[in-house]
Structure 1
Amino acid sequence: MAADVAAALFDVDGTLVDTTYLHTLAWWQALAQYGHHVDAARIHRAIGMGGDQLLDHLLGDDRDHDEDADVAAAHLALYAQHWPGLRAFPGAADLLRECAGRGWRVVLSTSASGRELDVLRRVLDADDAVRAVTDADAVDSAKPAPDLVRLGLRQVGAPAGRSVFVGDSVWDALAAERAGTPCVGVETGGFAAAELRAAGAAEVHSSVGALLDDLDDSLLARPGAGTR
């Protein structure tokens, strides 16, 4: 890895695209279809994890795993009903382009994959600013494991200490911390600033639009600024 290279890694769901509560609803409905009546508030708090980790978190690791694939497929089918109305958060694409223009190697780091990822990228409409994409299919464990972050860093040849991860959930902050990468949090996924900081976020903004407005005073001001 080159010492002067720095990556700006971005979670997508809930950070760049307004999907957190749609995922919550889809998981709530999918779980109920298979007889698991889980409070929506608990599901919301698990959004940001990979699907396997989410089901372990909500249902326990000692359950019968035989239906996991069917529950996940039901979630995707229910969530797909919302795809035509998905929208990126204001300022999301501009933030990616501004970071790329300042010399960051921009990476999308997401637990989404396949058709879902294709839809998110079309909604975001900023592929011209993106150097690499890491998704759940490429790693053994998704967030809060650090695998997605580490893979993104390897793909663009950036050291962890000079890079920054931007996410909306405590699972993002934990994954970044475990990878040795500073985290910038945004509150658009429903986690409060205090929760994100407690999970390891170095700074928190109300949205990616607010982060864009305050970019010069953030860890994303320029590659390596404020990182180690």
Structure 2
Amino acid sequence: MGPHGNGPTGPGPRRGVLFDVDGTLVDSSYLHTLAWWQAFRQQGYDVPMVSIHRCVGMGGDRLVDALLPATRDKDGDGEIMASHAALFAVNWPALRAFDGARDLLAQCHAGGLAVALASSARRQDLDALRAALGADAYIDAATSANDAKESKPAPDILVAALEAVGVDAADALYVGDAIWDLQAAAALGIPVVAVTCGGTSAAELRDAGAIEVYEGPRDLLENLQASAIGRLFPQVSNA
């Protein structure tokens, strides 16, 4: 990492790209949906999977609060979240990075940008997701739910990621797949390049404020130079 306040190619602000992980770089959104569905069922709640999927990307505490009755005994929320964690962990061996995810991180790194993972995942889950990505050589920092007081859509995770790589919000972009990613970034004024591979439609992502929408990492990688991320590359501006 370069020093704070200096770009990797010389004087000037360091620029960076923050990435969500679940549903953005790793194909895990539906595994989370199923794990939450099973965790709710264990506690006697029958929550439709489509409702769960629409909340994936929030922090677990917010997801439970959004999907269950306000009149419930909230003392059981911790057990539900623990069950989800255990059920999702069973699927760690099945986690797969989306096509192009590793190369996308590599190209951002090669372009002189700071690369950070800004995830609401638990630290243990993030470790499994990083193992699936196999791209640690191109990642400058990674933050998890353990690094933030408030989970998405609060911006705490993004603030932690920016601090970890020494990048100001004005010099960063965020790549995410969920409405909650867009809301978190909007709180800091960070533009979002969105992907639909997590299961949210392009129309919804654009309505929520995405400046560009791609099908997934491969699509973004193939259009990287012309994308908002490509315009951050120092050498592009000097071409």
Q: Normalising by the residue count of structure 2, what TM-score does the alignment of the two structures yield?
A: 0.91
Does the alignment pair 1:28 with 2:30? no
Look up the match of 2:196. 187
Write out per-residue CA displacement over residues 11-60 of structure 1, whole angstroms, 9 at most, x where no aligned residue: 00000000000100110010010011111110000000000111111115
The ranges of structure 1 where at least 4 consecutive aligned residues each deviate by more than 4 angstroms after the TM superposition are none
Partner of 2:237: none
CA distance in 2, matches of 1:59, 1:66: 13
**1:121 aligned partner:** 130
**Which residue is 1:139 aligned to?**
148
Amino acid across the alignment from 1:214: N
Report the Cα distance in structure 1 between the residues aligned to 2:69 and 2:174, rounded to whole angstroms.
Answer: 29
Kindly indicate whether residue 214 of structure 2 is the aligned counterpart of residue 205 of structure 1.
yes
Q: CA deviation at 1:224?
A: 6.6
Q: Is the partner of 2:50 in helix, strand or coil?
A: helix
CA distance in 1, matches of 2:53, 2:143: 23
2:172 corresponding residue in structure 1:
163
Larger radius of gyration: 2
Inter-partner Cα distance in structure 2 for 1:219 and 1:152: 19
Name the CA distance, whole Å, in 2 between partners of 1:34 and 1:72: 11
CA distance in 2 between counterparts of 1:204 and 1:60 reads: 34
Give the number of aligned pairs: 226
Residues 168-221 of structure 1: CA deviation (Å, up to 9, x unaligned) = 111111111112111000001111111111111111001111000000111110
Contact 1:103–1:223, Cα closer than 8 Å, also in 2: no
The alpha carbon displacement at 1:64 in A equals 2.2
| Residues 1:163 and 1:70: Cα distance change in structure 2 (over 3 Å) | same
TM alignment of 1:5-154, pairs within 5 A:
5-61=14-70, 63-154=72-163
Gaps of 5+ in 2: 6-11, 235-239
Return the alpha-carbon distance in structure 2 between the equivalents of residues 113 and 45 of structure 1: 19
1:118, distance to aligned residue in structure 2 (A): 1.2
Query: For residue 184 of structure 1, what is the amino acid of its counterpart?
Result: V
Segments of 5+ residues of structure 1 without an aligned counterpart are none
- Give the drift of 1:90: 0.5
Give the distance between the partners of 2:54 and 2:134, measured in 1 at CA.
28
- What corresponds to 1:175 in structure 2? 184
Partner SS, residue 121 of structure 2: coil
Q: Which moved more, 1:112-121 or 1:179-188?
A: 112-121
CA distance in 1, matches of 2:217, 2:140: 19
Output the CA distance in 2 between the equivalents of 1:114 and 1:161.
Answer: 27
| TM-score normalised to structure 1 length | 0.95
* Alpha-carbon shift at residue 61 of structure 1 (Å): 4.8
Letter in 2 for 1:174: Q
**Separation in 2 of the partners of 1:213 and 1:199?**
24
Q: Given that residues 164 and 183 in structure 1 are in contact (C-alpha distance below 8 angstroms), is that contact kept between their aligned partners in structure 2?
A: yes
Q: Aligned partners of 1:160, 1:55: CA distance in 2, in Å?
A: 30
* Partner Cα distance (1:140, 1:106) in 2: 22
